[in-house]
Amino acid sequence: MSSSERLILKPAAVFIGRGPLHRDWAVLVDGERIAAVGPAATLGAPADAAVIELADATLLPGLMDLHSHVLLYPYDRTSWNDQVLREPEALRVAHATNAAGATLRAGFTTLRDLGTEGAGYADVGLRAAIAQGVIPGPRLIVATKAIVATGTYGPKGFAPECGCMPLGAEEADGIDSLTRVVRDQIRRGADWIKVYADIGWGPRGESRPTFTLDELQLVVDVAESSGRHVAAHASTPEGMRRAALAGVRTIEHGNDGTADVFALMAERGVALCPTIAAYEAIISYGGGGLGGEPFTPEPEAKYASMRAALASGVTIVNGSDVGVFAHGDNARELEALVRYGMSAQQALESATAVAAEILDLDGEIGTIAPGMLADLVAVGGDPLENVSAIRDVRLVLQRGRIAAERSLTAL
């Protein structure tokens, strides 16, 4: 279908990205954008528009996952260490190409990809390939290499004198080094900057803060000067506190977050991306798969941190850390958000309107309204009643083009 064609989509209900479902609404798509939305009986239907009946489906904005790694695949197949150390970049790009297609077919039309994990700037090339229509996939917002303090990131376990092993992120420290690396990543195509505010580098392998508050503030200042935001990997209360005070846009994981640190985040407008699905996936792998970086998850601690986050009023955005588990199974995070205390409506908002606001793309995507890009997904049933309905994907539109379809009738 050409993006210049007009479509009338007639589902059972429309979720516009906020609030309740709207029953018996229709959506008019004209080229790449939404031209009109409202009650089907009053929505004008141009004579040249193709009508797609979606009688038992709900139409939503294209879903977003704001923590992904398209250049990784599940650790129970190949450990993180072996993917980074042993696999050539071309093989990893081939895996990522399949991952992008599976993600789009699952109804996720935008991904924020938070680090290539040893694959250099391959995400920049994948972003271009998708944008140019070379391969199918979601819109990619990329962070390239991510930034870590020297000596804190993996792969680990090699002789101290060996400095030739590839790393999963880029090392930098202090004013000069951090400034240069942030600017260099931006020059090479980064849309966001990602830093590791803490990691398991303590004397017993426990997570401890890495960068000082001044270093984190420098990263934010340099990135924000270019109009870009910073995402911070942080799980410890102190790592999260420093990241929030530094002014990062999102904190990733937050496994050990406390009421005090979530209150600080809410006060300073820092969103939480909980990545519950990856946390649970690693538990299912027996806590392994990370190679030289052991991880011993405590499920009750994650429940407690999510309860504290919800009580604080901090903004929660959908992000799964997909790549730890299978691409195309991104729905796992939305299901987890509901199990951990969010309503289905809140979870879906976190993957649509809220996600678009975090990305500064709320004037383009994330809601169904006139003038917005026609990134849309139709799913069977009522996802506000049962969020798992998003697994039953009937139709995916990307910029007005049909990217995936099943069980629909065009008249």
Strands, DSSP E only, in 47-142?
50-61, 63-68, 108-113, 139-142
pLDDT tens column, 116-135? 999 999 999 999 999 999 99
Residue 282 has pLDDT above 70, yes or no: yes
Element (H, E) at 96: helix 89-105
pLDDT tens column, 236-249? 999 999 999 999 99
Average pLDDT, rounded, for the chain: 93
pLDDT tens column, 62-104? 999 999 999 999 999 999 999 999 999 999 999 999 999 999 9
Structure tokens at 71: 């250049």
Residue 3 has pLDDT above 60, yes or no: no
Structure tokens at 387: 């969020």
What domains are defined for the chain?
6-62+366-410 (2.30.40.10), 63-99+116-122+143-358 (3.20.20.140)
pLDDT of residue 160: 55
pLDDT of residue 167: 83
Alpha-carbon gap, residue 242 to 265, rounded angstroms: 10
Instruction: Tell me the residue type at 340.
Output: Y
Instruction: Say if CB 411 and CB 51 are below 8 A apart.
Output: yes
Instruction: Say if CB 21 and CB 14 are below 8 A apart.
Output: yes
Band of the pLDDT at 289, cuts 50, 70, 90?
A: low
The residues pairing with 376 across neighbouring beta strands, listed in sequence order, are: 61, 397
Q: pTM (2 decimals)?
A: 0.94
Contacts for 303 with CB less than 8 Å, ≥ 6 apart: 340
Distances (CA, A) of 84 to 79, 309, 344: 9, 33, 36
Percent of residues, the chain, with pLDDT higher than 90? 84
- Evaluate the CA torsion angle 259, 339, 235, 96 in order and state its sign: negative
Percent of residues, the chain, with pLDDT higher than 70? 92
Element (H, E) at 104: helix 89-105
Residue 178 has pLDDT above 90, yes or no: yes
pLDDT tens column, 365-399? 999 999 999 999 999 999 999 999 999 999 999 99
| Range name among 138-142, 217-221, 296-300 with the lowest pLDDT average | 296-300
Structure tokens at 411: 């008249």
Residue 288 has pLDDT above 90, yes or no: no
Contacts for 12 with CB less than 8 Å, ≥ 6 apart: 23, 24, 54, 55, 56, 57, 58
Nearest alpha carbon to residue 389 among 25, 48, 54, 86: 54
pLDDT tens column, 10-65? 999 999 999 999 999 999 999 999 999 999 988 877 888 999 999 999 999 999 99
The residues pairing with 6 across neighbouring beta strands, listed in sequence order, are: 30
DSSP H stretches of helix in 106-236: 122-131, 174-187, 213-225
pLDDT of residue 161: 54
pLDDT of residue 284: 85
Instruction: Say if CB 34 and CB 78 are below 8 A apart.
Output: no
Instruction: Tell me the residue type at 325.
Output: F
Band of the pLDDT at 1, cuts 50, 70, 90?
A: very low
Q: Cβ atoms within 10 A of the Cβ of 308, count?
A: 18
pLDDT of residue 409: 40
Residue 164 has pLDDT above 90, yes or no: no
Q: What secondary structure does DSSP assign to 325-391, as a single string?
A: S-TT-THHHHHHHHHTT--HHHHHHHTTHHHHHHTT-TTTSSS--TTSB--EEEEES-TTT-GGGGG
200-230-164 Cα angle (round to 5): 50
pLDDT of residue 94: 98
CA 209 to chain centre: 24
pLDDT tens column, 254-272? 999 999 999 999 999 999 9
pLDDT of residue 47: 84
Residue 293 has pLDDT above 60, yes or no: no
Alpha-carbon gap, residue 268 to 411, rounded angstroms: 50
Alpha-carbon gap, residue 58 to 56, rounded angstroms: 7
